[in-house]
Amino acid sequence: MNENNNGNGSGNKRGAMKRTHYILQPDARDKEKQHLENEEEEVQTKVTKLEQPQKKVKRNGVLIIMYPPEAGLGRTKEIPESSKIIIGRQPGVEVQLINDSVSRQHAQIISNNGKYMIRDMGSTNGTYVNDTMIRGRRFIKNQDMIRVGTVLLKFLHGDQYETIYHDEVYRLTIIDALTDAYNKRYLIDYLDREIERTKRSDYPLSLVMIDIDHFKEFNDNYGHLIGDLVLKEVARRIKSTVRKNEIFARYGGEEFTVALPDTGLKGAMEFAERARKAVGDNKMNTEGSMVTVTISLGVYTFDPNHENINSPEELIQKADTNLYKAKNAGRNCVVYE
């Protein structure tokens, strides 16, 4: 009996130990399982956050006045969703442009469901999108150029509006919007730096001043709208002869300038003759009328080994003197010194 009792007792003790061991083991596994589940949940939460789509901000369309400066260069007008705005000279319209080439109620832009459409309102000088006259209505898209009379406006729309807007505002500080040439301000800054570089390098710097012959007659006979078309086409033709390292600028009115770094008199004369032929050899189409346009050019080369020039104005004056000699010599020619 004692043996049986002892055996049972010892058996019970070992059984208790086993049961105790058995109870602890599942608990450890449960803790490990819970730990893994927590880690998995944390990973899933992080992935879910990364995959959440970002909400798009809806942007209204915007017009920016690009040209001429007196029309309010850089001024903007927002076009709200589901709205209609009128562009014209008349007081009270949404986009008032004080310019004789603009009709009182010139054009209308209609916004509907994220799309924008423009229509001419029977204007005298027409409405153009990217240099094409519109008839009836036409959809407009981001970065389209709109012309009402002689006023240029740029249309912006979309998620990249702010970036494009700041880029355009910067361009307005250095680029002439009508001709897409650098403006006078940029030219002066460039020449100021280039004159100093020329002195250090001992390489020549040439400057070509260009004037459109009898340009006033185009404005008087055909109007400023045709005059602007002539300016654009003359600029385009001259620009086609300019290399990447050279600077083409609109100096003012119907005058242009080309700066030719590291270029002597011979090279400058060759360039000027190419530009003269590019403009005058073929007639220009201006609203259905074929007209012949010529230019006069004055060339001056600054050689730091033979003279000293201290300012952009001094260099421009020397080239301008030769330009007037070309005009007095009968126009449509090149004069150099």
Residues with catalytic roles: 254
Partnered with residue 87 across adjacent β-strands are 95, 107
Task: Please answer whether residues 237 and 210 qualify as being in contact, where contact means their C-beta atoms are separated by less than 8 angstroms.
Answer: no
CA distance 211 to 275: 12
Backbone angles phi, psi at 231, to 5 degrees: -55, -45
Query: How many Cβ atoms are within 10 Å of 146's Cβ, its own excluded?
Result: 21
CA distance 107 to 127: 7
Task: Please answer whether residues 146 and 170 qualify as being in contact, where contact means their C-beta atoms are separated by less than 8 angstroms.
Answer: no
Query: How many Cβ atoms are within 10 Å of 143's Cβ, its own excluded?
Result: 14
